[in-house]
Structure 1
Amino acid sequence: MRYFIQFSYFGKAYHGWQNQPNAITVQEVLEKALSTLLRQQVEVVGAGRTDTGVHAKEMFAHFDFDPIEDTAQLVYRLNAFLPDDIAVQRLFRMVPGAHARFDAVERSYEYWLVREKNPFYFDHAHVVTYPLDTEAMNQAALKLLEHTDFECFSKSNTDVKTFHCDVRHAVWEVREDKWVFTITADRFLRNMVRAIVGTLLDVGMGKTAPRDIDAILASKDRGEAGVSVPAKGLYLTKVLYPKELFDEQKG
């Protein structure tokens, strides 16, 4: 039987989501916890990869196992077993063949900025103290919705079949004591959001004009875009699936 597990994590201590040799990852820790509690080797497949130091407020993965009678009890035991920087929210029983990665239809990220040194955001946000033109940054962000090829924002030597993404939402807004960039798309390339934020910060500083975004995207050259901002400010916040994937008698 296939299950989806919904969880969140603070990424500082991990070399991203996906298993790696000689480096601790969220996937490794989660698989170890499930395998220990279920007394059988369990492999999980995540909704996507997050890079080293990136956080997830909402993440999903799937695994296969015999019917679990009390999913709420398993969630409780997992949270007692897992380290404090990983938390499980729900277990869902899925229809056969549901896939955490390939069936996701939309993903959203947030990037957090603070405008002055703040000890409470030390590991949670990027500090930018110089003046920024948020109106220009939002003009540039809107241009992302007019394009589909985002190779210029992709990490070099990335092994992907296509650089095409459907960006559906991209906006900067002020939320209390931080600035938040929210972006939603059907998929994202490696390093894409951090490179976009770095480029938009160049616009905010006046180094790049909003209209220049078109030329940067057309170049397909990572060197034409801005530098990648630190991972600590990036959060995966939402992964959306078709409702029909969830079993009506879900756990």
Structure 2
Amino acid sequence: MKYFLELSYNGTPYHGWQRQPNATSVQEVLEDSLSTILRDKIDVVGAGRTDAGVHAKQIMAHFDCRDILDTDQFKYKLNAILPAEIAIQNIRRVHQNAHARFDAVSRSYEYHVTLIKDPFSIHKSYYFKKPLDVDLMNEAAKLLLNYTNFKCFSKSKTDVKTYNCTITNATWENHGNQLVFKISANRFLRNMVRAIVGTLIEIGEHKLNNEDLIAIIKSEDRSQAGYSVPAHGLYLTAVTYPNDIYNI
């Protein structure tokens, strides 16, 4: 039987989503917990891979097991043994061909910036000390929707077949001393959101302008774009799927 897990996590203690040999990851903790309860080796496939320190308000993952589960009871058991930083929000049975990564039709992220020194958000948002022109940053963000090739924002040495992404939303929200950048697309490249935010912040500082952004995108050169902002301000907020994925 195949099940989708909807979970959230605080990424501060983890070296990202993906299991790795010498560091603790979310995937490792989740697989070990599932294997303990089900008394079998369980592999988990996530909707994407978040980097070390990145958080997830919602991420989806799938796993296979031999039994039909009482999902409410299983959710309770799983949450009981998972660490406080990881929470299962929902478990749903899906058809056997469903895939948490390849069937996703869109993903959304937020990036949080605080403009005041706040000891309570030290691992939750990026403290930026200088004033920013949010109107200019929003004008520039709208330009992203006009393009599909975002190689200039992709981490170098990444194994992808295409750098094309369809961005459907990119906006900054101003909440006084807190800025939140929201972006949605069918897919994202590695480090893409953090590089976009760094570039838009340089526009907000008046170091770059819209014409520079267009030239950066057309260059397809990561070295032309802005810096990559710290991981701890980034949140994966939503992963969506076709409506029929739960029809079994």
- Where in structure 2 are the equivalents of 1:200-239 lying within 5 Å? 200-239=200-239
Matched, 1:131 2:131: yes
1:111 to partner: Cα distance: 0.1
Write the distance in 1 (CA, Å) between the matches of 2:114 and 2:48: 27
Q: How does 1:82-101 map to 2 (within 5 A)?
A: 82-101=82-101
How much does 1:207 deviate?
0.3
Q: Distance in 2 between matches of 1:7 and 1:68?
A: 20
Q: Is the 8 A contact 2:199 2:226 kept in 1?
A: yes
Q: CA deviation at 1:66?
A: 2.2
The residue number in structure 2 matching 1:158 is 158
- The code of the aligned residue for 1:106 comes to S
Q: Aligned-pair distance for 1:5?
A: 0.5
SS at match of 1:28: helix
**1:66-97: CA deviation from partner (whole Å, max 9, x where unpaired):** 23331111111111100000000111100120
- Computed over aligned residues only, the root mean square deviation of the Cα atoms, in angstroms, reads 1.0
Q: Is the 8 A contact 1:140 1:211 kept in 2?
A: no
Stretches of structure 2 that go unaligned for 5 or more consecutive residues are none
Alignment length (residue pairs): 248
What TM-score does the superposition give when structure 2 sets the normalisation length? Answer: 0.98
Superposed structure 1 runs of 4+ greater than 4 Å apart: none
The answer (yes or no) to whether the contact 1:138–1:172 under 8 Å persists in 2 is yes
Corresponding residue number in structure 2 for 1:42: 42
1:191-235 CA-partner distances (Å, limit 9, x unpaired): 000000000000000000022211000111111000000000000
Pairwise CA distance, 1:150: 0.4
Q: Which runs of 5 or more structure 1 residues have no equivalent in the other structure?
A: none
Residues 171 and 182, structure 2, Cα contact 8 Å, conserved in 1 = yes
Distance in structure 1 (CA, Å) of the matches to 2:69 and 2:26: 26
How far apart are residue 62 of structure 1 and its match?
A: 0.5
Code of the residue aligned with 1:224 in structure 2: it is Q
Contact persistence 1:95–1:246 (CA under 8 A) = yes
The 2-side partners of 1:142 and 1:114 are apart by 22
Q: Within 2, Cα distance between the matches of 1:114 and 1:88?
A: 28
